[in-house]
Structure 1
């Protein structure tokens, strides 16, 4: 029993553990699924970019650009104060002219050293190679070297070796002046020692510091790795396998150029015109600044914004190394240290992750372009600020490589998020399209029916619109024509009304002339009458009066025709004498398009008009139809003129009554004709055989509507056997609003 109870507890405990493990696994899968969906881009992009940028940096691809970036960071630092512990004695072009030779003689060199030593400096460094004696003054210079143990000369150790002055070598007062050039030709590093030999700047600094109160006379600060750690392979900025790490090297923390130190000219020293405070208890370096001697180098301060390019003399670089050591020991001024590889890779990875995460978070708030610009701008400002502040603490923090990491991960992450969002939108669109397709299938038949109905309605509205426009045009034309007719009628009445009185007055005047000649004959008057030909004047004047009377009568007829055509205020249904309307319409078309043509082509108008009974109609609309048909006939003839210049145009209009129930009007022309396959379409709205821009396709449709729908008549067209085109109008004499058919008419 006890065994069973123990076994049951064990099984229960194991089941609980298995259940917890299963639950943890399920929760882990859910969490991982959520992370993968939301942060997969960041997880993939950030490490990939970090590895790629780090690899490029390891191969030295980015080293040159990184150097230039760090140079700019160094130049951005505030200007430092002049180092009052160091004074430079410079030899420029004017000093060489003063010495009258180069190298300067041993005599002048000895005089300079004695004058400087008299001011009690701590150390005197001579940055001038002096491996041979320059007479005169060899003995004086040797004595100066021997009497001043604080004088340090130089030699070149690497490359083409240049030995030091023999006397100084025996006294062990020599240091190496070798300088380190990076692959771009700039000096960013300096030697502290080269094997057993100290560098020039380090030797001078140590000698200066040994004379400082509380310092040991044998202490060598520059060689202490705990104070000045040496550059090693893998330090960032110097990862190329071609980098030379021989000797004890350090980064140079420049103060600036020549302006960072007090300067005295060689001539002033020789003439002993030097302030004592610039020499006493100081480190004094003697070197050349003359450009002709080519002892100049490129440093990070050589190129400055909006300033000319400046080389740094070698004496300035040695002074800077000495100042760097002294200031670090006495003032705790930081020395520059590059970051190591582990820190560098972590730094690059951090900025790659920052760019990817920032792009992910800002994706829902900003556009891709603005997001990239925002992240790039803020990131670059932070990087520059961190790197600049790092130089104040002695750290050279890379800027370019993390910036490239930030920008690359930001761009790739932005692109990933955009593609992801686009894919999501496409999926949503696919779902929406499927729904729309379903709606479309359900509504397709209804939409088709509705579309057909709307199309028919639209067509009817277009026809009605154009009909209204045409009606308005005809009404406006009628009003204008009536007004013109009225204005013309008044002066014509004056003319025609005064012809008869004029004839009477002329008769009386001529009678008086005849009576005067009979009663009072005079040779001079008779001679004048023969000269003006009174008989011809009498005859011709009566002819003129007759012409004036006929012209006035013709104008009265035209005015009457215009008034008849216009039918102003006669838009109602009324009984009309269509013969008068036909005559007036023919007069209008003849005046406008048939007679006095610009092309001088002949179009004859033949009228076969018989007596017609009064017809109940809308006269203005009938005139519109007749005018439209005649206008089309002239257009067809003009088109035929362009094809055959020899033909003469002819239009025939015939009108007659039929069975005292209908009247027939036929208009025939010898124009280009209408193809048989188009005859059934010519009365359709918007159909035209004219070129584009020459017709609306509504003239015949409106005419058909006026005759058939408004007058319950017939309008037809056919091609005659002789190739002419004939339009036939059939109108009921008595208008019947509900008439559905007419007696069939056969031509």
Structure 2
């Protein structure tokens, strides 16, 4: 029996807590669902992508050991100055053969020729074809999407080719790496980057394998690749044709060892520069128009050669060094992340407002509100950035929107509370009382039950203030208000009606039931045992109550209800206080 009683008390306490936090429990899922719905329309995608880009730029300013210059790759560049010096473009087959032969003699592990060669450019085509035949570690390029460009026939026959087609987002930036393309026309083709990376890793006895957890998973050494779906991460309904992954850039030109083609021809480079390395030969001249926008430069394009170098580098680093590839969470996990930030935003805003709002004016409150959201935003962006460094691209703008939304709702609700509640006693004020009484009339004017009103007044409160001081008087009113709340029912409504007066609205309650509740209020207040030595009624603080009960039909009946309760309260004071008087009844309670 005792255990059952304790269980009942625990359930009751839990129910009271749930009721107290009911708004919070409703706001979090509502705001989360609303903002997730907005994000699914794609409205927030551009902002999420800009944040994604910013994370790359931040990381480039504070690189870790794994983000420093890639020692495995050397890039031979052909820029504007080189073309001016050579006085030709495209390079003749003879020049290209000469370049490859110089590199070849240095024993590179693999050579990537990022220059289209779909037809001979004399002189030297025979020499170049001979180089192609005798260089098994040379990989050429082709273009397969849109206007296709064929690879060198000899390299194609020996399957020493990779495609260089890039995937552009709606804003024209390259953020994804297209690893493979499959079609009925040509079967499956590998990208230039993955082909070079796999060729390099052959010496390490690393090959691409299918994963155990998913048929779409590709395992390359320590790297685990998963294809992007249409709504991966913060993307909304993208074209995810082929096998696409996020491109985890290492950086721009500064992240790779580079040397100009002129220096190679003149053999002005360090000894063993190409030995056992992946050598990438590509054009970087702006006039050739092979540049694309990347996360690093919002308006200044990056050479396609450096984008290919990043694609190669991310596979090599992930396979050998366990450098993380960029991944995304599943939708349920992203929604849980967003919901968690909704809850954090609400709780932090609620605590800040509860701690400071009562003592500052509206301007300071706005400043507090803005600083609160700035702090939450900084915390959110920091957490997202830390996850980005670990290889996870998570929503940032979407949870920030729910943080703003939740904090605005809490702020508005709090200001509404400040406008309608008495800050001292924590019960509604007279303005809110008038509103609730009118709502009660509108809701119950067709019912056959009366509405009752109790007006309470703390006896001899002026003398109490004069004797014990106003701070003590404030504490007294707070205790009385708390006891009144515990004495009434959940359906009843208590408000501070005046200085030391309280009013209780009792819907669907007749005078007999109202009298029982008023009697309970008197007993609760007396049980506080608050000393009142100057009271003419008792040695302790007491209260007087006047009750009125009416069928509320119109605004006149509402006014009559208040007037009758006020007259009953006045009669209770006249007859000695510390009692309950019901208007229109000769029954008077005994004194305590």
Q: What interval of TM-score do these two structures reach, taking the shorter chain for normalisation?
A: 0.5 to 0.7
Q: Secondary structure at the match of 2:234?
A: coil
Counterpart in the other structure of 1:571: none
Counterpart in the other structure of 2:218: 225
Distance 1:398 1:33 in 2: 35
1:290 aligns to 2:274 (yes or no): no
Partner residue of 2:297 out of 282, 287, 302? 302
Distance 1:406 1:35 in 2: 22
Partner residue of 2:243 out of 248, 253, 264? 248
Per the TM alignment, residue 20 of structure 1 is displaced from its structure 2 partner at its CA by 5.3
Q: Go from structure 1 to structure 2 and tell me whether the alpha carbon gap of 1:259 and 1:32 turns closer, same or farther (over 3 Å shift).
A: same
Is residue 191–residue 250 contact of structure 1 (8 Å, CA) maintained in 2? yes
Q: Go from structure 1 to structure 2 and tell me whether the alpha carbon gap of 1:56 and 1:50 turns closer, same or farther (over 3 Å shift).
A: same
Residue-by-residue CA offset, 1:642-669 (whole Å, 9 max, x unaligned): xxxxxxxxxxxxxxxxxxxxxxxxxxxx
Counterpart in the other structure of 1:360: 350
Q: Secondary structure at the match of 2:421?
A: helix
Distance 2:209 2:123 in 1: 37
Residue-by-residue CA offset, 1:406-441 (whole Å, 9 max, x unaligned): 1110111111122123222394345444879989x9
Aligned-pair Cα RMSD in Å: 2.7
Per the TM alignment, residue 89 of structure 1 is displaced from its structure 2 partner at its CA by 0.7
Counterpart in the other structure of 1:549: none
Q: Secondary structure at the match of 1:387?
A: helix
Correspondence 1:344-743 to 2 at 5 A: 344-367=334-357, 368-425=365-422, 427-429=428-430, 431-433=496-498
Partner residue of 2:72 out of 85, 94, 104? 85
Distance 2:198 2:210 in 1: 6
Per the TM alignment, residue 366 of structure 1 is displaced from its structure 2 partner at its CA by 1.7
Per the TM alignment, residue 263 of structure 1 is displaced from its structure 2 partner at its CA by 0.7
Partner residue of 1:182 out of 146, 169, 184? 169
1:60 aligns to 2:60 (yes or no): no
Q: Go from structure 1 to structure 2 and tell me whether the alpha carbon gap of 1:257 and 1:381 turns closer, same or farther (over 3 Å shift).
A: same
Is residue 234–residue 394 contact of structure 2 (8 Å, CA) maintained in 1? no
Distance 2:165 2:395 in 1: 27
Correspondence 1:129-144 to 2 at 5 A: 129-144=116-131
Partner residue of 1:324 out of 304, 314, 332? 314
Counterpart in the other structure of 2:96: 109
Distance 1:39 1:417 in 2: 13
Partner residue of 1:97 out of 74, 81, 84? 84
Higher relative contact order (Cα pairs below 8 Å, separated by 6+ residues):
2
Q: Go from structure 1 to structure 2 and tell me whether the alpha carbon gap of 1:198 and 1:43 turns closer, same or farther (over 3 Å shift).
A: same
Q: Secondary structure at the match of 2:132?
A: helix
Counterpart in the other structure of 1:197: 189
Counterpart in the other structure of 1:157: 144
Correspondence 1:33-72 to 2 at 5 A: 33-36=16-19, 38-72=20-54
Per the TM alignment, residue 72 of structure 1 is displaced from its structure 2 partner at its CA by 0.8
Q: Secondary structure at the match of 1:382?
A: helix
Correspondence 1:327-346 to 2 at 5 A: 327-346=317-336
Counterpart in the other structure of 2:262: 267
Partner residue of 2:106 out of 114, 119, 123? 119
Is residue 28–residue 406 contact of structure 2 (8 Å, CA) maintained in 1? yes
Q: Secondary structure at the match of 1:245?
A: coil
Q: Go from structure 1 to structure 2 and tell me whether the alpha carbon gap of 1:427 and 1:81 turns closer, same or farther (over 3 Å shift).
A: closer
Per the TM alignment, residue 48 of structure 1 is displaced from its structure 2 partner at its CA by 1.1
How many aligned positions are there?
413
Distance 1:34 1:261 in 2: 60
Structure 1 residue runs without a partner (length 5+): 1-15, 304-308, 443-747
Is residue 206–residue 221 contact of structure 1 (8 Å, CA) maintained in 2? no
1:278 aligns to 2:273 (yes or no): yes
1:32 aligns to 2:15 (yes or no): yes
Counterpart in the other structure of 1:460: none
Distance 2:141 2:321 in 1: 28
Residue-by-residue CA offset, 1:533-576 (whole Å, 9 max, x unaligned): xxxxxxxxxxxxxxxxxxxxxxxxxxxxxxxxxxxxxxxxxxxx
Distance 1:188 1:277 in 2: 34
Is residue 188–residue 299 contact of structure 1 (8 Å, CA) maintained in 2? yes
Distance 1:315 1:123 in 2: 16
Distance 1:296 1:377 in 2: 37
Q: Go from structure 1 to structure 2 and tell me whether the alpha carbon gap of 1:110 and 1:330 turns closer, same or farther (over 3 Å shift).
A: same
Distance 2:250 2:234 in 1: 21
1:235 aligns to 2:232 (yes or no): yes
Distance 2:256 2:309 in 1: 8
Q: Secondary structure at the match of 1:276?
A: coil
Distance 2:383 2:10 in 1: 41
Per the TM alignment, residue 378 of structure 1 is displaced from its structure 2 partner at its CA by 2.3
Distance 2:9 2:70 in 1: 69
Q: Secondary structure at the match of 2:374?
A: helix
Q: Go from structure 1 to structure 2 and tell me whether the alpha carbon gap of 1:31 and 1:170 turns closer, same or farther (over 3 Å shift).
A: closer
Counterpart in the other structure of 1:170: 157
Q: Secondary structure at the match of 2:383?
A: helix
Per the TM alignment, residue 261 of structure 1 is displaced from its structure 2 partner at its CA by 0.4
TM-score normalised according to structure 1 size: 0.52
Counterpart in the other structure of 1:211: 203
Distance 2:414 2:306 in 1: 54
Is residue 83–residue 260 contact of structure 1 (8 Å, CA) maintained in 2? yes
Q: Go from structure 1 to structure 2 and tell me whether the alpha carbon gap of 1:163 and 1:220 turns closer, same or farther (over 3 Å shift).
A: farther
Distance 2:301 2:264 in 1: 25
More helix by share: 1
Distance 2:398 2:332 in 1: 14
